[in-house]
Amino acid sequence: MIPDFIKYLQQENAYAQYFMKDTEEGQKVLFAEIISRMPNKISTPPELWGPWLYYQYIPEGKEFPVLCRKLAAESKGWMKTLSSYVIGVSKEEQVLLDWNEIAERYVLVEDGHIKNRWQSYFHRLLNDEGDRAIVLGELEHSEECRDFSYCRRFKVEEVRQAVRRMRRGRATGPDEIPVEFWKFVGEAGVYVINATNLQTGIQRFCKRVSGVQYFLEHHHGFFYVLTNSRNVGEESSPSSGEYYLARCPVENLQSTFLQNIIEPSREIFIQDMDMFDEHLVLFLNKEGSSLICSVDMRTIINCEEQMKIDELSPWFFPLPSDMCAIAPGSNHDFTLSVYRAVVSSPVMPDAIVDYDMSRRTFSVIQQEEVINISHKTKYHSNNGERSRNELLGTTSKKEDNIQNNEVQRWSDFAEIYSCQEKEVISHDGERIPITILFSHKAHKKGQSPGLLHGYGAYGEMLDKSWCSDRLSLLDRGWVIAFADVRGGGGPDPSWHKYGSGMSKLNSISDFVSCGKYLLSEGFVHERRLGAVGVSAGSLLVAAAINMYPELFQAAILKVPFLDVCNSLLDSNLPLTVLDYEEFGNPQLQAHFDYILKYSPYDNIPEGLCCPPMLVKASLNDSRVGVWEAAKWVAKIRDKTCTQCSSSVILQTNMSGGHFGEGGRFGQCEEAAYEYAFLMKVLGES
């Protein structure tokens, strides 16, 4: 990195510190509040994988988790005495990985999923000399766990071998498997590797076709394919958005023929799948509500013609509410019939639930503990089940949903906090879902400050799962809202299509409409609405500010993607080619002209009276260059008046990556800083 640029970032950090000087005591108060809701010791329930029980815990006073295991055979009554093991005192316990020790030796440890952290650590082991050229993608191991297969990212124009095999224990000279599909983008596609014999190399399932997606699972001699195309190979073309399930024998991998199993539905569409020896798990969406079900694999195997989901005798997993967020657990063991998932909502802390797909029963085995909140509402699990069946328009057989009403419970805070789902009419008449969260006690209609979240890209739903940090705003009377604009995930498969590419302006207009709705309906004071966007979501927020500068009175842009045209014209950047499908290819004149209409960096009006903005970047961000945030702030200062520009601050994490500060306390500090900024410019309550 150029020394003068580093110096510039440091100077901006110094100015941000000066601007926030009068909030330092408030930050301490907020930080103390946030950590006071967290238990001293945090652990996960054990998960069976082969003969081992795996679990992790965060020791008291530590930032990062410790990954452990113990033999299941030695664990009689182990579930009842979990508390003695999670603090690391069991003689049989094996510590596999202590992230606290790793954090002491390496600057960058991002607190994401275990898989992401493992890839980062594997990167370091392969690359002891500090060369940052090696960036790993997905990592898989062979059947006997002696070999690893992984992907390397290269510049698009480089012609190199990109998939490698490394024998565990070797210090140098990893074996290479020759791969040609990385030479040219046109040769990319979906490939598979035989985990029992890596020497056979890789096989291509299908060639990459714009707009077509394939997700493969292997099951006893067949590949099951979740796809939005009815054809494979040269004739591939995306459907109207619905996904269907098909299969082909392993020996016919490169055949263009797929046997359709589950046909698309305009009412319920498939989002993802997870396959086990005896069961298939399907993640579904109906009218914006999440569903999850299991189907007996014997029904699938014996399928001779395509069927609809409800014809496969599915078991729809009972869930606590229609606004429930569902995240799969690790579920590593292919042979098990118990599926673990994490369910939550904006007013319900994360609950870890085991669904027994054979018996069609479930157990809430752990729910996140939130300290310093005394009032909870208990819901019996069958209330959630009725809600699911009403949504589906079906009835559930009693014997198919056995429950113990004395045990099966989840807790929420619905009596303290209101969570409402509304629809907002956008510029073209489309109804945009918005979720609005506030405190029954503290909210003041027409007077409260508010914060509107948006993302609107890659077909991804906004994360509306439980977050105890938000309580520091809600308890002060704030409104927190989530706009599910087009381009993100939504009520039907076309939601992404009509907010991306040559329809990207729709997502920006949707976000503006949601902001106006919060003001017109009195949820938020007309001069106290803020907006927040992360990564591609920052594009949404910044573009809305350019077009409607008086709508938002504050904004937080985190690791922002703002210079769309220049970024997509630079093929050396790691995500450029992948982003052509999302935003368009500016090398095409029509795409360039369209992107130029909304690209935030290119559309800052002269004399703009912009709201106060906190712009956060990370020096080691491999997804969005730190220069995007720096360029945006510099241009804002150049285009706006002195009074406005003085309230725009750039804070750069000089060691972090795209996901910011690692560790639970580091994340709490970030939240306290952001909330203090919002309270400084919009008022505390």
pLDDT band at residue 427 using 50, 70 and 90 as cut-offs: very high
210-214, 505-509, 583-587, range with the lowest pLDDT: 210-214
What's the pLDDT score for residue 388? Answer: 39
What's the pLDDT score for residue 384? Answer: 40
More confident residue, 526 or 405: 526
Task: Outline where DSSP puts E strands in 440-534.
Answer: 450-454, 479-483, 529-534
> Which residues touch 94 (CB under 8 Å, ≥6 apart)?
68, 69, 70
303-312, 334-343, 384-393, range with the lowest pLDDT: 384-393
pLDDT band at residue 449 using 50, 70 and 90 as cut-offs: very high
Q: What stretch of H or E contains 543? A: helix 536-547
pLDDT at residue 330 greater than cutoff 50: yes
Q: What stretch of H or E contains 328? A: strand 325-328
pLDDT band at residue 180 using 50, 70 and 90 as cut-offs: very low
What's the pLDDT score for residue 378? Answer: 45
Q: How far is residue 394 from each of residues 34, 288, 316, measured CA to CA in Å?
A: 42, 18, 10
For 559-601, what is each residue's pLDDT tens digit?
A: 999 999 999 998 888 777 778 989 999 999 999 999 999 999 9
More confident residue, 212 or 96: 96
What's the pLDDT score for residue 81? Answer: 46
Paired residues of 555 in beta bridges: 531, 613
48-62, 456-470, 599-613, 668-682, range with the lowest pLDDT: 48-62
What's the pLDDT score for residue 214? Answer: 84
Could you give the CA distance from residue 191 to residue 272 in angstroms, rounded to a whole number? 19
In total, the chain counts a number of residues equal to 685
Q: Which domains does the chain have, with CATH numbers?
A: 3-36+417-682 (3.40.50.1820), 124-409 (2.130.10)
pLDDT at residue 516 greater than cutoff 90: yes
pLDDT at residue 402 greater than cutoff 60: no
pLDDT at residue 322 greater than cutoff 90: no
356-360, 662-666, 675-679, range with the lowest pLDDT: 662-666
Mean pLDDT, all residues of the chain: 81
pLDDT band at residue 49 using 50, 70 and 90 as cut-offs: confident
pLDDT at residue 386 greater than cutoff 90: no
What's the pLDDT score for residue 614? Answer: 98
| Of 104-118, 365-379, 452-466, highest mean pLDDT | 452-466
What's the pLDDT score for residue 237? Answer: 59
Tell me phi and psi for residue 36, to 5 degrees.
Answer: -70, -20
b/e 577-609 (16+ beta carbons within 10 angstroms → b): eebbebbbbbeeeebbebbeebbbbbebeeebe
The closest alpha carbon to 657, from 649, 665, 666, belongs to 666
pLDDT at residue 121 greater than cutoff 70: no
79-83, 102-106, 445-449, range with the lowest pLDDT: 79-83
Share of the chain above pLDDT 70, in %: 76
